[in-house]
Chains A and B, each alone.
Chain A
Amino acid sequence: MPTRPLVTSYKDDSRLFADIWHKIAWTLALVVLVAWPFMASARWLTIGTQTLVAVVGAVSLMILTGFAGQISLGHAAFMAIGAYTVAVAGHVLHLPFWLGIPMGGFAAAIVGLAVGPFALRLRGLYLALVTLGLIPIVAHILLSFPELTGGVSGISVPMHTGFSAVEGASSLGDMTAAWHVAGLELSFQTKLYFLYLGIATAVCLAGVNISRSNTGRAMMAVRDSDLAAEALGVNPAKAKIMAFGISSFFAGVAGAMYAFEQQYITIEPPFDLHMSVHYISMIVIGGVGTIFGAVAGAITLVMLSPLVETLTAGLPILSDLTSAQRSTLVFSVAVCGFLIFEPLGLFGIYLRIKRYFLTWPFRY
């Protein structure tokens, strides 16, 4: 069953775009994404921005769980570190956002590299529960320095474009002002959307490149069987720690993006177990093991909850619940059904559709 063109050489196998159809799909996606802020309403523009944040978070978890096979329930902790790094950097040090975002990534990566060695001794559920322990520990540390992090009441996240705060800019930094470029008014939301679109595209490409490079192949070998991988000359310890480092870097970046998007952050919620679970369900629904799966899962899950909120607003029995609780309920049922009936996730559905057209007019 050919699901991709015949691979005759190593170069074919590791190609970024497998065939002309991939190039067409990428171009179409790019056109839609660039046109999105000019077509969508303000609400859906915000949702689009949140989706891009989720894409970065999901790709980072996919590298750790999908490629290297290390289950982590501590994703929210890494994102919290990224988010609070940019908040403190903007507030106390008045650093510009383009320095803050990588700083958030590095701060999370340092913690990730410290956690990585645990994965050398623990596997499966034990690792999942230890990484789960990261969430209360990080939350406790952040809460212990209220003069820096604002404690329980939270902290605002200013977005500066330069090194010193500009006169007359709002307390949220001068990035929040609108720009006028070639007759178009670019509001803060639009600017943020394009900035995040750039970051998300870069992270996705990085993810694809990791998956087809030596590093990614080593991770996948470790995922499938670390003993066999070691026998073949792959260093499992290096692969696992590397996966933790890369993944937590991107998670920190996602956390930083989340912070700038929200403009005001607190610790719990949102940075609790539910956030970790949300990201795990993204990669499982999208399909574990591919960047496509991470992106598809992130888009589906983020777009789903506002849709559900709108659709269930008029239902009689559920009207006792708040809109968030309603969306949680419907959403949980949907995720459970998906996991039970469609094991491969959206990637599986995609494969089935593709196979149908490839073998058309035959049924199999």
Chain B
Amino acid sequence: MKRSVLAAVAALSLLAAAPANAQTLKWAAPGDAVSFDPNAQLDSFTQNIQSMVYDTLVRRNRQLQIEPSLATSWEIVAPDRWRFKLRQGVKFHDGQPFTADDVVATVMRTIDPGSRNKGNLATVKTAEKVDDQTVDFVLTGPYPLLLNDLTGIFVMSKPWMIQHDSIKPGNTSTGVTTFASTHANGTGPFKLESYEPDARTVMSANEGWWDKPEHNIKRLEFRPIKSDATRVAALLSGEIDMIAAVPLQDIPRVSSTAGVKVVEDPSLRLIFLGFNWKPELQGQPGVKNPLLDVKVRQALWQSLDMDTLQKRIMRGKSRNIATMVAPPVPGYSAEADKPIGYDPAAAKKLLADAGYPNGFKTGLACPNDRYIADEQLCLAIASMWTRVGVQVDLKTESKATYFPRQDRGETDIWMLGWATLPPMDGFSVLSAIFASRKDGFGGANANGMSIPAMDELAKKAAVELDEPKRRAMLAESFKIARDQALFIPLHLQPLAWAMKTNVDMPQFADEYVRPWFAKVN
């Protein structure tokens, strides 16, 4: 801490000496980097901040497609062995050259038992140096998503880690923290100048970056501002150039302010409702679970007026969806995304056919502080179901208690958001949500859903190296989910940033801020 504050003071005095220039970008977001240690956390915003300092072997381009970064090419030499050629002439921020040793050390640190994100590289057994510019990844078996995984693995410098006694990650249980949690030395587009948690993180452009910069930023100052109102005020008062995440209700006011613009896009995060698959209702022990009947699930889906939800609750900012994955993600097909249509009469008929002409009673559980307008959404959904005769016992609670309850499978109908991150692939939905909870699958399938066809698809897709075949399997799983109404997909959450009109910062559906594409005019 002492050092980082000193560095901050030094950086500030330098800034005071330099002429005021337009190439300083100050931006704010509600969260902060939890740590700078790539293996000490799983927070996606923290990883976003780290990605400005650290490079990865492969990265996402402007279209979010995977492209070479620190690795220039790769080949699958055996089903369980991938060979990566590394980029030459790359230097870390401290001047050390980038070599195969750094990649091996990074992999070993990531898969260390103490590493918090070892699950992001779960199929990697080890990494072997072939020569200075070549590394082999040894896997547990055939695995199609290694590149996707590697977009989130930040390459650290081996000599730097040794010098600072950080070759192993910090470990919460043993109480070990490392130098790397408050300092960073990557090869990325920006260098970390100072890190003051909850106050500011300052970075400067890496003049020696191996890639040709598309940005014109000299200095990047990040200021976390948790309170929505204050964050908007900081932009309107001119103290901040850009804020990520504008609250929905403030969008009209912000966009009508001179000198400020709002950029909006649908994000990858898909909000959906899931069901209880156990024989009895959780909320009413002893009562037969009506949700097991496909007609009941279809009736619940058809009785939701998605357009009204989108217009009234989401203020017209969300994108409604009828499949379980967002358009940019592999596995999506427009065919499976046709709206199912709002039809309360048909819903009533389905309920009658299923043996519930007078409806039934069920629980609906939702978080009230995790997703955009989550509580209001559930209130509206509950009232729509009431109109077709389904009585809803709505329970909303804070995310800190909601998610553990949901994960224990103690809910009847529940809400969840899924962004398929970090792999950004439909397999994430198939393996964690569609497949039953066994053999490492079904991490988010807590309510006992078990569809043999899904389990089969998950097992096959997990090892299918032929991409068209693999995508066909994913598409099939999404078709089953839709035909059986296994879930009710609602919408893609809107993503809104606001910035001064002289700032040009492209927006990405994965909600990452990528300042290496930003221009300040």
Q: Do A and B come from one complex?
A: no
Chain B residues in contact with chain A, CB under 8 A? none
